[in-house]
Copies of this chain bind each other. A is one copy, B any other.
Amino acid sequence: MSVGTNQRIDGARLWDSLMAMARIGGTSGGGVRRLALSEEDRRGRDVFAAHCAAAGLTVRVDAMGNMFARRPGRDPARLPVLFGSHLDSQPSGGKFDGALGVIAGLEVMRTIQDLGIVTEAPLELVNWTDEEGSRFGRSLMGSAVWAGLLEQAEVEMFADADGQTVGQSLDAIGYRGPEPARVFPADAYFELHIEQGPILEKAETQIGIVTGAQAMVFYEAVTRGQDSHAGTTPPSARRDALVCAARIIDLVDRMMRARGEDGRGTVGRLHVIPNSHNVIPGEVRFSVEFRHPSDTEMARLEAQFPREAGFIARDCGVALEITPLLRIAAQPFDPDCIDLVRASAARLGFSAREIVSGAGHDAVSVARHIPTAMIFVPCKDGLSHNEAESILPEQAEAGCQVLLDAVIARANRPAG
């Protein structure tokens, strides 16, 4: 069964539902604060569940609070096609990060329901718990437990700034479901998301065909010199931890730029001790991260960075400690699923280009076990994790239409 060209999602309904969801935890600055497993998250989930029920879907919740809204297929032997994203937000987040993938998924289900479409395989719309990691410190939490990358028992002990744990929060909002949070057999997973970067917008491209997620390495770095009086300590006697850190920040930037537009290298967090204008800093603690689509290039970065940073520290007479906190290998997506996204965009007449996801997404957890692809749409100025995050209704509609098209095509492909 091919996809009919008259199978159109309802762009106005999609937009209204996005705006309605954005009011739950909506901020005065036009953004959203709907922290994972908070009261706002509970309200968002309740509304989502009600809409799913109204669209004839059956909602299951697993022990991590991950929600699966199922529509049966014609062939009960077929594995389900999954699609979705997350409803939790950053503390000062936007309306579309995560919510677009879930609400567009709902629109896909509603369209299929309205048009009386019967798919061969069952469909399951997913809302993953705590993608952002802003509250409990671990991003992709629900999907990582589901994919077996984290243990639920361990995750339940993670606490927020007020000491409330994940386990307590699941119980408090009533979203600890009866079934274990564990990967189950599925045919595919699709996730629509805003790009959260400027590439598609700059290229004036409507659809990003996401071919995978880049490799990442996160470090904690500490430079230790000697704090001393800024007025009395001559150049020869200085062991300035901040001058050393500054040269390492410059190194990170140069290493990134040497890799061209695929390179990512960032120092985002930095603390100076004692941080007084007339004291030469004795200690600086800072984050360093590199990302790259290629594991090979990442291995080169990981070899080069501690070596060259060590040379700088020696020149500065400063001790340097670099601790790798997290390594994530590049995660290529499934060629067949990628092809479906490409074909759908082409059939619908959207401009499209391949892109590697710069951010982490639940799709990266899922792709460990299930054939996966993602669809990106541009966002204004590439801005995300920000109240000013915005997209146009037609951009949401385009992404949702590609999602519908790809999901139906996958669910109806000849049984293998």
A interface residues (Cβ-Cβ under 8 A, vs B): 195-199, 202, 214, 216, 218, 227-237, 240, 242-243, 245-247, 249-250, 253, 256-257, 260-264, 266-272, 275-281, 287, 289, 291, 357-360, 382-386
Q: With contacts A276-B269, A281-B268 known, is A382 near B232, CB below 8 A?
A: yes
Q: How far is the CA of A237 from the CA of B198 in the complex (A)?
A: 7
Q: Determine if B261 and A269 form an interchain contact, defined as CB atoms under 8 angstroms apart.
A: no
Point out the residue from B198, B234, B247, B278 that lies within 8 Å of A197, measured CB to CB. B234
Among residues of B, the one whose C-beta sits closest to the C-beta of A275 is: B269
Given A214-B231, A230-B264, A246-B249: 4 more A-B contacts, CB < 8 Å: A231-B360, A246-B246, A250-B250, A268-B272
Q: Which residues of B contact A383 (CB under 8 A)?
A: 228
Point out the residue from B272, B281, B358 that lies within 8 Å of A231, measured CB to CB. B358
Q: Determine if A267 and B242 form an interchain contact, defined as CB atoms under 8 angstroms apart.
A: yes
Q: Which residues of B contact A195 (CB under 8 A)?
A: 232
Q: With contacts A264-B230, A281-B268, A289-B230 known, is A237 near B276, CB below 8 A?
A: no
Point out the residue from B218, B233, B263, B278 that lies within 8 Å of A289, measured CB to CB. B278
Q: Which residues of B contact A385 (CB under 8 A)?
A: 229, 279
Among residues of B, the one whose C-beta sits closest to the C-beta of A243 is: B253
Q: Which residues of B contact A275 (CB under 8 A)?
A: 268-271
Q: Determine if B237 and A202 form an interchain contact, defined as CB atoms under 8 angstroms apart.
A: yes
Q: With contacts A269-B276, A277-B269 known, is A264 near B382, CB below 8 A?
A: no
Among residues of B, the one whose C-beta sits closest to the C-beta of A316 is: B253
Q: Determine if B250 and A231 form an interchain contact, defined as CB atoms under 8 angstroms apart.
A: no
Q: Determine if B257 and A246 form an interchain contact, defined as CB atoms under 8 angstroms apart.
A: no
Q: How far is the CA of A264 from the CA of B228 in the complex (A)?
A: 12
